[in-house]
Amino acid sequence: MDIAVGTQLRILPNHACATAAMHAGYYVADPAQIELDYGARIQGW
- pLDDT by residue (tens digit) across 4-43? 888 888 776 666 677 777 777 777 777 777 666 777 777 6
Whether the upstream peptide bond of residue 13 has omega within 30° of 0, thus cis, is yes
**Nearest CA-CA partner of 12 in 22, 23, 20, 3:** 20
- Give every CB contact of residue 26 below 8 A, 6+ residues apart in sequence: 20, 38, 39, 41
Domain that holds residue 34: 1-45
**What is the pLDDT, as a whole number, of residue 17?**
73
**What is the pLDDT, as a whole number, of residue 15?**
67
Taking the CA atoms of residue 10, residue 13, residue 16 and residue 37 in that order, the dihedral angle to the nearest 10 degrees is: -50
Q: How many domains does the chain have?
A: 1
Quick check: 27 and 36 in contact, CB under 8 A? Answer: yes
